[in-house]
Structure 1
Amino acid sequence: MQKTNAQLRAQARGALAGQWGTNVLIIFLSVLLGGIISGIFGGMTNFETGSTQASILEFLVDNLLLFAFTYATYFVALYVVRGGRAEAGQIFVIFNKKYYVPMMIINFLNSIAGYIVGIIVFLPLAAVIGGGVYLSLVISNGQNFGAIADNAFSGVAIALLILLLMLVFLVAVSIVTGVFQFAAWTKMDFPNVKVGNSLRYGWSLLKGRVGRYIMLQLSFIGWYLLGILAFGVGVLWAIAYANVSVAAFYDEARKEIGDPV
């Protein structure tokens, strides 16, 4: 019988019992090390903040180094939900040669997919604003551009459109991230499976379960809000709880459809 999201969360809490502190420490270390390394690389260059060079350096550092700490938290979540005891040293587990390159490729593809989703989702907004201003300029022969921009589109309408697109973007990114996260776990479980096949398998795990997956993610909003109210520190507990719950979701889906061929 398929487990409900409530049962998956209960499974996560049971797995985290007696080791919340270690799991939170690992999440904290992923953030701390990311900040330290970013600061070191930033201090080694004289690139102006926001410049092309600075953006390229940030992209390279994120996708060649910092990603490993995020994927280490995924590894730990899966390890814990299967009964393992987390250890702080696991924050460096992705630097193991059998994990590093596959996880780096998966993370890079995830980044590209995120950019593409953003472009696709927000393209209508740019088209509406740009098209409205263009038509107004044509009609008024280019006079009084400030008034044209104000009249080309309603501020309220644009705000509602932005809100709608943000919701669509968050849902789309959540689904894309889920596929790549499941692909990462698949590659960890089955090292001989090619990255492309792990991505296809990751999608097969999520396909038909998208609604449940989104609802599982939404169920942690309250935890994140409470974490923010607790001086932001509580967010670390919320992340650990969410990660292990999603790992339980992955394990349940994998049992339902079988191992990748």
Structure 2
Amino acid sequence: MENHLTMTELRQKARDALRGNWTVAVLSNLIVGIILGIVPTIINASNSADRISIFRNMIEDGSFSYRNSIDPYEMDRLSSMNTSSNLISFIIGLLITGALTYGLSKVFLSIKRGNTSNIEMIFDGFKKYKETFLINLLLVIFQFLWGLLWGVGVVILILIGVFGGIALATGGTSLGGVGVIFFIILLALGISYSIFINRYSMTYFIALDNEGIGSMEALEESIRIMKGNQIRYFLLQLTFIGWFILGLIPCCIGLLWVIPYIKATKAAFYDDLIGRNEKDFDFRLME
């Protein structure tokens, strides 16, 4: 049986590593978050004027009021604008998320290993754009397909619940207990999906540690090292719920520190998985 660090020890290693590196950690995470978040914001803002113009015209010509139904043509235009905005946001996100996630992973793995780290590292993924793009694309595809499979299970469960509920109601049976059981099963499905998807969680770290590794190989290696550790990682994530809630209280400002803490702990978890916990180990990342 492998001798892994406890969750308390992993969090302690993350705090020790972040000591003196909080500025780089917080700013790196913030910049990546802004870049990924600003794309849909800009796209939606660019369409806001058109949306306002459509509603103004509908109000002026009387087609938008509580007495009249909305013009189907204008509704189609609004729907088309929303669809195109979402599609453009998705495509741009798909193009840049891999490179930025790779760079951010490098920042936190460097911090954890006591190496020199700087904010510029968040853009290092663009130097290996093909590899990082393919990793992200594969992750999106696999997570979507597995999510679809879980979704089918949820739909089947809902249908069983609906027809079962109708049958019970017809027989005069109370549905209170059935509803509780239904909720518990749905929750269990959601948790099982989260645990299952954790198999891919170390992919970027593996790509960082292995020069020239293929995108699919990195995913497969993540699956290999996470085998038997997916629940442990899920439980580790749960230990941050209190910190996350605390970070939400002062207008979410606390999350600026909580999220880097979580990411540094993830890096500690990865090093624990591959047996790199010794302080004198050469942790230099590939350039």
- TM-score, with length taken from structure 2: 0.72
Pick from 229, 235, 238 the counterpart of residue 215 of structure 1. Answer: 235
2:199–2:227: 8 Å Cα contact kept in structure 1? no
Report the Cα offset of residue 16 of structure 1.
0.3
Task: Give the aligned residue type for 2:193.
Answer: A
Comparing both structures, which one devotes a greater share of its residues to helix? Answer: 1
1:125–1:161: 8 Å Cα contact kept in structure 2? no
Distance 2:176 2:133 in 1: 42
Structure 2 CA distance for partners of 1:133 and 1:250, relative to 1, 3 Å? closer
Report the Cα offset of residue 221 of structure 1.
1.1
Match of 1:34 in 2: 36
Distance 1:154 1:52 in 2: 39
Report the Cα offset of residue 14 of structure 1.
0.7
1:74–1:185: 8 Å Cα contact kept in structure 2? yes
Match of 1:68 in 2: 99
Which whole-Å deviations, capped at 9, do the CAs of 1:128-165 have from their partners, x for residues lacking one? 4445667999x9xxxxxxx99xx9x9577456534542
The aligned runs of 1:130-145 (5 Å cut-off) are 130=159
Unaligned runs of 5+ in 1: 140-146, 257-261
Pick from 167, 181, 185 the counterpart of residue 205 of structure 2. Answer: 185
Match of 2:57 in 1: none
Structure 2 CA distance for partners of 1:160 and 1:26, relative to 1, 3 Å? farther
Q: CA RMSD in A?
A: 3.1
2:195–2:230: 8 Å Cα contact kept in structure 1? no
Report the Cα offset of residue 18 of structure 1.
1.2
SS in structure 2 of the partner of residue 255 of structure 1: coil
Report the Cα offset of residue 122 of structure 1.
3.0
Report the Cα offset of residue 173 of structure 1.
2.9
2:17–2:114: 8 Å Cα contact kept in structure 1? yes
SS in structure 2 of the partner of residue 231 of structure 1: coil
1:19–1:85: 8 Å Cα contact kept in structure 2? no
- Larger-gyration structure (1/2): 2
1:125–1:162: 8 Å Cα contact kept in structure 2? no
Match of 2:24 in 1: 22
- TM-score, with length taken from structure 1: 0.78
1:106–1:180: 8 Å Cα contact kept in structure 2? no
Which whole-Å deviations, capped at 9, do the CAs of 1:175-231 have from their partners, x for residues lacking one? 42x333312111111122222221121111111222321221111111111111232
Query: Does residue 84 of structure 2 align to residue 53 of structure 1?
Result: yes
Match of 2:6 in 1: 4
Report the Cα offset of residue 13 of structure 1.
0.7
SS in structure 2 of the partner of residue 89 of structure 1: helix
Report the Cα offset of residue 48 of structure 1.
4.4
SS in structure 2 of the partner of residue 22 of structure 1: helix
How many percent of aligned residue pairs carry the same amino acid?
Answer: 27
1:8–1:245: 8 Å Cα contact kept in structure 2? yes
1:114–1:173: 8 Å Cα contact kept in structure 2? no
Distance 2:78 2:243 in 1: 37
Structure 2 CA distance for partners of 1:160 and 1:93, relative to 1, 3 Å? farther
1:121–1:168: 8 Å Cα contact kept in structure 2? yes
